[in-house]
Structures are given as structure tokens and as C-alpha cells.
A and B are shown apart, each in its own frame.
Chain A
Amino acid sequence: MADLLDVRNLKIGATAYPPGEPPKDITIVHGVSFTLQKGKVLGLIGESGAGKSTIGLAALAYGRGGVRITGGEVRLDGEDILKLGGRGIRAIRGNRVCYVAQSAAAAFNPAHRLGDQVIEAAVRHGTLTRSEAWERAKFLFGVLGLPDPEGFGKRYPHQVSGGQLQRAMTAMALCPGPELIVFDEPTTALDVTTQIDVLAAIKRAIDETHTAALYITHDLAVVAQISDDIMVLRHGRMVEHGPVQQIIEAPQEDYTRELVSVGHIQKQEAARQDDALLRIERVDAAYSGHFKVLHDVAVHVPRGQTLAVVGESGSGKSTLARVITGLLPPSKGQVTFKGEALPPQFASRSKEQLRQIQMLYQMADTAMNPRQTVRDIIGRPLTFYFGLRGQEKTRRVSELLEQIEMGKGFIDRYPAELSGGQKQRVCIARALAAEPELILCDEPTSALDPLVAAGILKLLMRLQAETQLSYLFITHDIATVRAIADSIAVMYRGRVVRFGPKSQVLSPPFDDYTDLLLKSVPEMRLGWLEQVLASRRMESAGH
């Protein structure tokens, strides 16, 4: 069969503006080649900065934000689209090749109805008439499993959920009947329980419309469910390219092997879990007095161990952390630390009480003052809590930098000059500087690439083994929970639905929500998605 898409020796460059130096040209993609046949799906996988989105957009002959395609060919049905002029490219974009962005919420215009946006491209290109396009949109809404396909197009973007919006965006891409769709991390921003529905919908839609697709993601387990082939990228170069089965079961390259085995950290669960350092006693909490977010939450963190709090977005996990820190005083119940009740407001807590509980944030970028150097960031708690100054402070900061495996060469850097993983490490050092007994970790690894995240988790576990730190670890990722937890609390709509030692929580009999959560986590094997969907159909047939 002829190749639909034939990318040959693609080179992409951009201009970088390093602080304090003149601008220079850098190469983002170094000569990548691949082919894609009609109706097939190629998964592009790699960490951030690997160039996967850039390559995906090059299939539309587009370079985002100052990115230039500097060499190579992108042949669509034999025709090099990089050589087409503006008019020729416009005839292809949104018509023969479509794009599905990561954040559907940001990609839809909130002022227009979904249906009008879904059919716009097809109508503008003259592929379909308005009424034909509406019919096709309704058909696609049905295929994608959206509720009320007839009326769905009349809604506005804010009236539907994130998962539905992502499917509407897929419908938008499919509407003109394109030959190729580029999916750019379509499920990354979604909860696992939602992700599985969107994945299933995309897979079914691709099967039914025989469209070829480039599927970009950093999650190997996800791409394994959807793709026929996988291409692993790193630093703008191809690492490995092959059928899904070969990549998952017999990876050739070291880097691919690391990616495949990344989920395999396992922690031995602690035997005794009754020595509670932090105890949350029947806490209710509400925002602005009315909207109740936490209902009767009672959990405890054993000394020197990790409690993982897991649940989807909106389940109240982060609110629980805010109650513990004293940012949101509970409306009922109390928080006790080392057997003593903590004042509900952080402002009325003593310096000593504040020191003993530290916090790690999801976005390390915004958790550090961009105008302070690493020395200031880590050094401030040292001065503030222990009165360290001058030489002594510098020595301790260097020590902490050694402890987080970064070394003192970083001491005078600004946060903007650090990578994502390094930023989170500096945040860890800042927390350690206070010599706390408990660190609240609010999804500290969910914004990081899998390998970097695994490094952070290993660091946290090493620190726990060395210094008897306790963690309350908030996450939505079951793999992370398996890796680090001693005990687990599953939260759903502001309630703890399950709490206990890891082995107990993760073994049957399950309640409905935990069951759904555990089954929704993508597993790195072929046919997992079909199997889950089949078992769901069985269940619903049984009801």
C-alpha cells in the first residue's frame, strides 16, 4: 500500500534567547524520518523537549511560536506539503490533516456553540454543506459516546465536562473526513477514570472512519492501547521505531527499556501503622462557608511512613492539604500533630509548629520566587528557623544540595535556569531545610516526565529511609501510590471511601469507586483497553 504520510529527514530549528547572551539558533529535531499508511496509528512518545509535538505539527507544515522547519520533506500522498504556498497549505489544514490539542478547554472559543465550532472547518473548506456537516457532527457525537448527540452541538464549551470537551474536539477533527489526524496528548490533562472513556472513543472513531493518526503522548501505557507502531524520541532524535508489541515486549534500546520499566518501583509496606504522627479527626471543610468540600474525613499518617491520598480532580485531596496547613480552617473536627491539637488557622500556629509541617507543590515553577537564587530559596528557612547566616548558611545550603543529588554548582542559579525535575528537587531541599517531621506532597510528580518523576520518588523514599520523614502524598496516579505508599486513603467527592494499609486497600473486595479507579489505570500491555471495555459491557449487561 502507498504511504499516506512520508516524512523524510525532517529538520526543525528555532531561535533561543538564553539570559545574558546573544540569541542563537538551535536545532530541535535532527533529521527524523517515518512513514504512515492509511488507517494506521503511529504513536510518538518521549519526554518533554523531545520534539514530539513539533514533529506532529510539522505534519500540518506548521511551526509553533518561532519554530522553523529547516529541512527535509513531509509528503502527503506523495506531495511535499512543505513546498506548498499559503493557499495550498490552507487547503490541507483542517481538511485533509486535522489537529487535536492537549487542552480542549483552551482550544474552544467559549463564546460559540460547540456544534458551530465542530463543523466550521468542513463548511469553510466547502467539503460539506452546513446541513451535511451537522448530520456528520451528530453521527460523530454518537460514535464518540457523547450524551444526547442531537442536542450536544447546541451547548457551549463551559456546559460540558473536560472529557466531553476533548471528545468534541476529536469530533471537530474528524468532521471534514480527514486523511490524517494529529493527536497531541489528548488525554494527559484528564483523570484516569475519564481518560479511559476518551481513549475508547478515539479508538472507536479511528476504527470506524479509517483515518490515519499520529498519537503524541509521554505515557507509553496509553499509546500501547491505540497505536499500531511506536516511535520513541529523545532530544529531537529517533531512539527506536517498531511495532507496538516489539517496543513493549522486546525493546532494543536502553532508553526504551527504562521507559517500559518506569512503573516498577515498589516499596515494602511498613508492618505497624498505629503510631500516628498526624491525625485528622472527623474533619468537615467548606469554602466561603457554603460549598462543603470535605465530609467527615478521618485518616492518620503513621510516623516515618507514607500515606497516599488518591482520587480524581475535585475529590477534595488538595483541600485536605489546605486544612492541614491551616490555610482553610475546618468547619468541624480537628487536626492533631504528635498528639496535640493544631490551631485551625496557620496564623495562630507557633513557629515551631509551622516548621514541622512543610509542603511540596505540584508546580515547582510557581512555588519558587523567580527573582531569588537557589541560595536564597533554600537559605531562607535556615535563617528564619535556625538563625543561620554567612558561611554557615552557605555550608548548609551546599549540604542540602548534595542531599538532593544536585551539587553546589547550582547555588547561584535562578529557578528559570533549572529543568522541571531540578526545580522540584530545590523545592524538596527548601522543605528539608526546615528539618520537618511531615511533608505534604501535593502531586509533586504529576507535571514531570515519567523518568524524572521516578527519580523524585526515589529521592523521597531515600530521604524517608535516612531521616524517618513522614509524607502525606496526594496523587491521582495509582502507579505512584503502589510505588511509595504504606497506607492509602481513597477519596471521592469529599469523602474517604477507603482507608487502610496498602495491601488491604488494593485487594478485593472493592467498593464501586475504587474498583473503577483501579481498572482505569492503563497497563503496559496489548489489549488492555479492549479487555476493560469488554468487562464493562459484561457488567452493564448483567445489571
Chain B
Amino acid sequence: MRWRAIPLSAWVGLIGLTAALLCALFAPWIAPYGEREVVGDIWLPMGGQFVLGTDNLGRDLLSRLIYGAQTTISVAMAATVLSFSLGVMLSFTAAVVGGWTDQGLSRLNDLMMAIPTLIFALIVLAVLPQELWILILVMAVLDSTRVFRLGRAVALDVTVMEFVEAARLRGEGRLWIIFREILPNTLSPLLAEFGLRFAFAVLFLSTLSFLGLGIQPPEADWGGIVKDNKDGIIFGVPAALIPGAAIAGLAVCVNLVVDWLLNRTASLKGGRGDG
């Protein structure tokens, strides 16, 4: 790996991501005030004692943002990892086994994708108890339909290659073929998609929180902070815009890194993974 070879845009993305991750990991030490601590008057302006001002209940906005990074990033990360594990396993099975298994899984996937994601999520979350793991699970299952589509497409390209045929003729089992022959050759597009999906998960979680079905107050998350402070916009208070900008910033940073990963995606003909 050569540091010089990383373009400027990727550096911006990497630095932004690192900052967000540091905030998430060390929130209690970085944040000047507590997550739920009411420290002053409502909607105080920026500057002075409170760097970003206070929110609709008089809590420090910077501290809320830092704690919010923790929830937002960890939930989005968990949902994305889960959706990838699910999507990749099912799609590779569909591609390798083929026939009726493929038809069954693919049509089921089409069925899921036919229902608008947000409406589906709203209905399911309204019915089920409001717990964090259920939220993550619902987000993961809905997102895995997208992963399935990509996974099946890239795996099909590899499945028809002769080295997979050679492995089958050797008598290798299905798991070996999926994890040793196909996965290493599809890792680059999947990794790139992972970054994109992570950004979408952050946005989706924020949307849900804004609509009141995501993270429940008083716990902080970026979408929730936007919702809490949205009324302030009428009075010219920018408190809702700051978490909105944080969401946009994180999404942009992730995409900058993903673009860079896509550019250096080695083709199948390439040699070493870092080529």
C-alpha cells in the first residue's frame, strides 16, 4: 500500500470517517457535557460556553452530536454487516446451486423489493416492539435485498468460469466453492457496495428516527436531533441543520472512500489483491 497513491478526495473521506469513528468510540471523554444533561436555556446561539449552542430542551448540541455519532454509526454498521452476511450467503447459494433454489430465492427477493422500503419498515416497526435489535434486524433484512441482487450478479459471472468448474469436478463441497473460489474474486465490488450501503443505512436510520420509529428519545442520534429541533427553523434557529450537515458529511465521506475503492478495484485478470 502506498500512501502517496491515495488521491486527495480519498484523504478527505478517510479523515472525515476517522473523526466520526473517534467521536463514536470516545464519546464520554470527548463530549463536554452529558448526553441527557440539561445545561442551559433552550436554543442558545452558537459560541461562548456552548460551541454549537443548545437544543430544544437546553441540552448541549455538540455533546448530543458526539453521543449521536455513537448510536448512528454503530446501528448503521451493525445493520450493514448483517445485511451483507445475509445477502451474500443467500445470493451466492442461489448462484452456485442454480435451478429451483435460484428461482425461489430470486423471486422472493423480487417480491420484497416490490414493496417500497420505507413504507414496509414503518408498518413492520409500528407493529413490533420498539427495541434496538429489532430495528437493526428490520433494516438489515430490507437492505439485504439490494445486496442479494448485486451478489448474485457478480457471483454468476464467476460461477461460469473454468476454475469453478475445475473445483466442482475435483469434488469440492459447496462451502469451499463459495468461500474459496467465488468470494475472493467478488470481494472488490462487494466492498465498494458495502461503503455505499453503510451510507444508505445512516440515512435510513435518520429517516426512521425523524419519523419517530428509529432510536427512541432521550437517546441521541442524528436523525432524532433533526426531528427534535425542526420547529426551531421557523424561528431562525439553526440547531436542526447541524445534525443534518453531519449526516450529509458522513455520507459524502463514505462515498469519497468508496469511489477510491472502486477505482482501484482489481479486475479478475489482475494479480495480487492490492494491485
Cα–Cα distance between A351 and B172 once the two chains are bound (Å): 9
Size bracket of the A interface: 20 to 34
CB-CB under 8 A from A86, the residues of chain B are none
Cα–Cα distance between A363 and B268 once the two chains are bound (Å): 14
Is B170's CB under 8 angstroms from A370's CB? Answer: no
Q: Shortest distance in angstroms between B162's beta carbon and chain A's nearest beta carbon?
A: 4
Q: Shortest distance in angstroms between B160's beta carbon and chain A's nearest beta carbon?
A: 9
Is B272's CB under 8 angstroms from A414's CB? Answer: yes
Is A380's CB under 8 angstroms from B170's CB? Answer: yes
Q: Shortest distance in angstroms between B251's beta carbon and chain A's nearest beta carbon?
A: 31
Q: Shortest distance in angstroms between A342's beta carbon and chain B's nearest beta carbon?
A: 13
Is B268's CB under 8 angstroms from A370's CB? Answer: yes
A366 and B272 contact, Cβ closer than 8 Å, known pairs A354-B169, A381-B170: no
Residue of A20, A349, A381 with most chain B CB atoms under a 10 A cut-off? A20
CB-CB under 8 A from B180, the residues of chain A are 369
Question: Can you list, as one digit per residue, whether each of B252-275 has a CB less than 8 Å from chain A (1) or not (0)?
Answer: 000000000000000011111111
Cα–Cα distance between A315 and B27 once the two chains are bound (Å): 70
Is B166's CB under 8 angstroms from A354's CB? Answer: no
CB-CB under 8 A from A325, the residues of chain B are 169
Is B271's CB under 8 angstroms from A367's CB? Answer: no
CB-CB under 8 A from B7, the residues of chain A are none
Q: Shortest distance in angstroms between A324's beta carbon and chain B's nearest beta carbon?
A: 11
CB-CB under 8 A from B159, the residues of chain A are none
Is B169's CB under 8 angstroms from A366's CB? Answer: no
Is A369's CB under 8 angstroms from B181's CB? Answer: yes
Cα–Cα distance between A363 and B161 once the two chains are bound (Å): 10
Cα–Cα distance between A381 and B169 once the two chains are bound (Å): 11
A369 and B275 contact, Cβ closer than 8 Å, known pairs A351-B171, A381-B170, A384-B171: no
Determine if B133 is an interface residue (Cβ-Cβ < 8 Å). Answer: no
CB-CB under 8 A from A369, the residues of chain B are 163, 180-181, 184-185
Contact of A384 among B170, B185, B272 (CB under 8 A): B170
Cα–Cα distance between A529 and B275 once the two chains are bound (Å): 48
Is A365's CB under 8 angstroms from B169's CB? Answer: no
Contact of A417 among B163, B172, B271, B273 (CB under 8 A): B271
Question: Can you list, as one digit per residue, whether each of B179-192 has a CB less than 8 Å from chain A (1) or not (0)?
Answer: 01100110000000
Is B169's CB under 8 angstroms from A434's CB? Answer: no
CB-CB under 8 A from A434, the residues of chain B are 170
Contact of A415 among B165, B181, B271 (CB under 8 A): B271
Cα–Cα distance between A367 and B268 once the two chains are bound (Å): 12
Determine if A64 is an interface residue (Cβ-Cβ < 8 Å). Answer: no
Is A370's CB under 8 angstroms from B162's CB? Answer: no
In chain A, positions 376-428 with a C-beta closer than 8 Å to chain B are 380-381, 384, 414-417
Cα–Cα distance between A430 and B170 once the two chains are bound (Å): 11
CB-CB under 8 A from B268, the residues of chain A are 370
A354 and B171 contact, Cβ closer than 8 Å, known pairs A359-B166, A369-B184, A371-B184: yes
Cα–Cα distance between A367 and B162 once the two chains are bound (Å): 5
Is B161's CB under 8 angstroms from A19's CB? Answer: no
Is B185's CB under 8 angstroms from A370's CB? Answer: yes
Is B161's CB under 8 angstroms from A366's CB? Answer: yes
Residue of A20, A371, A380, A416 with most chain B CB atoms under a 10 A cut-off? A371
Determine if A341 is an interface residue (Cβ-Cβ < 8 Å). Answer: no
Cα–Cα distance between A349 and B171 once the two chains are bound (Å): 9
Is A368's CB under 8 angstroms from B163's CB? Answer: yes
Is A414's CB under 8 angstroms from B271's CB? Answer: yes
Is B169's CB under 8 angstroms from A370's CB? Answer: no
Q: Shortest distance in angstroms between A416's beta carbon and chain B's nearest beta carbon?
A: 3
A370 and B171 contact, Cβ closer than 8 Å, known pairs A359-B166, A361-B162: no
Is B271's CB under 8 angstroms from A346's CB? Answer: no
In chain B, positions 3-55 with a C-beta closer than 8 Å to chain A are none
Is B166's CB under 8 angstroms from A367's CB? Answer: yes
Is B181's CB under 8 angstroms from A346's CB? Answer: no
Q: Shortest distance in angstroms between A247's beta carbon and chain B's nearest beta carbon?
A: 35
Cα–Cα distance between A351 and B170 once the two chains are bound (Å): 8
Determine if A84 is an interface residue (Cβ-Cβ < 8 Å). Answer: no
Determine if A327 is an interface residue (Cβ-Cβ < 8 Å). Answer: yes
In chain B, positions 118-175 with a C-beta closer than 8 Å to chain A are 161-163, 165-166, 168-172
Write the chain B residue with the least CB distance to A322.
Answer: B165
Is A416's CB under 8 angstroms from B169's CB? Answer: no
Question: Can you list, as one digit per residue, whether each of A1-40 has a CB less than 8 Å from chain B (1) or not (0)?
Answer: 0000000000000000001100000000000000000000
Is A371's CB under 8 angstroms from B171's CB? Answer: no
A359 and B169 contact, Cβ closer than 8 Å, known pairs A366-B161, A368-B163: yes
A-B contact pairs, 27 of them (CB 8 A): A19-B270, A19-B272, A20-B275, A325-B169, A326-B169, A327-B165, A346-B168, A354-B171, A355-B171, A359-B169, A365-B269, A366-B161, A367-B166, A368-B163, A370-B268, A370-B269, A370-B270, A370-B271, A371-B185, A371-B273, A372-B184, A381-B170, A384-B170, A384-B171, A414-B271, A414-B272, A416-B271
B interface, CB within 8 angstroms of A? 161-163, 165-166, 168-172, 180-181, 184-185, 268-275
- The 5 A-B pairs with the shortest beta carbon distances in the complex, nearest first, are A416-B271, A371-B184, A414-B271, A19-B275, A367-B162
A interface, CB within 8 angstroms of B? 19-20, 325-327, 346, 349, 351, 354-355, 359, 361, 363, 365-372, 380-381, 384, 414-417, 430, 434
Could you list 13 further interchain pairs (A-B, Cβ under 8 angstroms) beyond the known A19-B271, A361-B166, A381-B170?
A19-B270, A20-B275, A327-B165, A354-B169, A365-B269, A366-B161, A366-B163, A369-B180, A370-B271, A380-B170, A414-B271, A414-B272, A434-B170
